[in-house]
Structure 1
Amino acid sequence: MSEVRSLDRLKRFYAEINTLDDEIPAQVTRKIYLYSLALLEIGRFHAEAVNEYGRIYAARKGKWGEIAATTDGSGVVKEATADRLTQELREKEAQAEAEMHRWKNSFEATQEIINALKVHLKVLVKELDVA
């Protein structure tokens, strides 16, 4: 599944979620279901981000090692040269790491929303039983 289709799916889930009423148990149940579907998509994005981060990290480390091995001079000179010449990859790595954490945080936040909605649903059902 392409990233665009997954983002579109996420947008559709959230659009429907925003139309549902938190005080109607059937709609809260639907929200929980939609958030669960969103969680699957978010998990896929997180996995892709982890993979991308790992690829960039490996490329940077490989290039750094190659540069250090082929550079003449002391260890300090080799390290400085390798650091300087891998700066662009280091920046890409930092961006990929941030993206990875963003999806992880989104995943965890969505789990918490689902848990809160489950508790809210239990309260609503108890209130209906009492009424």
Structure 2
Amino acid sequence: MDENVDIKVKEEIEVYEEPVFRQDVEVTVKEEWGEGTHIGEKPYQCNQCNKAFSSNSGLIIHQRIHTGEKPYQCNHCGKAFSQKGHLKTHEDTHTGKKPYQCNRCYKTFVSINHLVIHQRIHTGEKPYQCNQCNKAFSWKTGF
């Protein structure tokens, strides 16, 4: 039975991977190796907030926070996004597509992030803690 559980988990992980992110990771790794950086190094630094990144593409995406640039636009409603993956998730709201399903209660979600947050209901995980009252929360917006 343990083998079935392992296979089930592996299948879910493969189903939940989004090609956009997988592509970004491959590009980032190639950039890091091609430019001679080592794992953990972050040579690209934002000149506005000093946050550091391991790839130039990561820095460019981050800088859109400061510039407000949103180059990816929804063809259905015109809403714009700073990242291609965010647009893809948004477009699924127009089609009603919810490809991510909880394996405990079978509720479906438009994004893997929403599924992960939802699953904390079942696990009881509360990774965010208030530093003033020490109360723990399942998601960042809880406090």
Q: TM-score range by the shorter chain?
A: under 0.3
TM-score in terms of structure 1 length = 0.25
Larger helix share, 1 or 2: 1
TM-score in terms of structure 2 length = 0.23
Larger strand share, 1 or 2: 2
Q: Say which structure, 1 or 2, has more relative contact order (CA 8 Å, 6+ apart).
A: 1
